[in-house]
Amino acid sequence: MSVLPDIATVPVREHPRTGTWSSPTLRYVVGRVLSAFGTLVFVVLFNFFLFRVMPGDPISLYTRGRAMDQDQLRALRSQLNAPLGQQLLEYLTNPFAGGVDSIRFNEPVWEVISPRVPATLLLVGTATVIATLVGVWLGIRSGWNRGGRFDKVSTSTTLVLYSMPEFWFGMIILIVFSVQLGWFPVGGLSTPGTDLGTPAGWLDVAWHLVLPVTTLAVIYFAEYSLIMRASILEERSQEYVQTARAKGLMDSVVRRRHAVPNALLPTMTLVFLNLGFVIGGAITIEYVFSIDGLGSLTVVALQGPDVPLLQALFLLFSAAVIVANLVADLLYGWFDPRVRT
């Protein structure tokens, strides 16, 4: 009798395939999406009740500075005095509906907001790309060569830049480079009368964006550089880095292929979170440089106060933060399997 078991009867354990959507990954994605959706629902409800518990007469606040006849006032009073459940149901049906007019502009709020979104996206998007590239590069180089001359100079510089208020730095470079030297436009996004659909118009917009983008990028690349430097320092002491060096790999290869990909995770998360907050309009930057975007629109709405416009802006800014946070969570889970499991 053979003491060896029959090979055909021995069960073979199949290894899971790599790169497929495994159960932990699906649970992670579904959990993040549901969490973001729940947060958005809470924000919509909070947005609805927040502006209805404010002190004062909403009719007087809404009609201040507007000439309205008595029939319009009665219709508005009837609408605002409707049962709270009915108002909530109408609002939840489509919170982004354009049926509510802005007090200051006398137009539907979303028609007031939508033309100003491209200016803010152009400003914030350009500054974010520049700040990310420069900040990550500085953080990698200074963190990998800790204690060197480059590390000392770059760390001291980024600490100074990170501590400066955005509006103060923007005013300084505006006074120096626009008012005194006259190298750049004083404000605005383009020269009046310029055709923005031509290459000359694109160059004109780029010329107007130099100072505001520089202001925004300088503050944020300092933050990204400090976070990236700290991440690189932490990864340098990990065992897998020491093992890679012991195998004889070149120092540049160890840094590029092993340390940097893992060190990028905290910085990547910070970039997306900041993008969600900055999409709120970079209020101080747009106000200093007279850019007609969401930030300057928020200042105008606060001066009223234009309650319907503020309510719509609050909802838009909150949704931007939630979406950016969701993207950061999904990307973090995609690049780091430990998060999914």
The answer to the question of residue 171 being in a domain is yes
The β-bridge partners of 108 are 101
280 C-beta neighbours (distance < 10 Å), count: 19
The answer to the question of residue 258 being in a domain is yes
Report the alpha-carbon distance of residue 227 to residue 89 in Å, rounded.
45
- The closest of 114, 161, 112 to 135, measured between CA atoms, is 161
Q: Are 339 and 28 in contact (CB under 8 A)?
A: yes
The answer to the question of residue 109 being in a domain is no
Per-residue pLDDT of the chain (341 residues; tens, 9 = 90+): 444 444 444 444 444 444 444 577 777 778 888 888 888 888 888 877 776 666 655 566 556 656 666 665 666 666 666 666 766 776 776 666 655 667 677 777 778 888 888 888 888 888 888 888 888 888 888 888 887 888 888 888 888 888 888 788 888 888 888 888 888 888 777 777 777 778 787 888 888 888 888 888 888 888 888 888 888 888 777 777 777 778 777 777 777 777 777 777 777 777 777 776 666 657 778 888 888 888 788 888 877 667 778 878 888 888 888 888 888 777 776 766 666 56
Structural domains of the chain, count: 1
The answer to the question of residue 95 being in a domain is no
Checking phi first, is residue 270 left (phi over 0); if not, alpha (psi -120 to 50) or beta?
alpha
Amino acid at 130: I
Which CATH number do you get for residue 133? 1.10.3720.10
Domain extent for 328: 114-340
The answer to the question of residue 122 being in a domain is yes
* Token pair recorded at residue 300: 């105008």
CA distances from 115 to 61, 258, 310 (A): 25, 45, 16
DSSP letter assigned to residue 106: -
The answer to the question of residue 61 being in a domain is no
The answer to the question of residue 87 being in a domain is no
The answer to the question of residue 18 being in a domain is no
Report the alpha-carbon distance of residue 196 to residue 180 in Å, rounded.
28
- Residue written as token pair 């290894």: 15
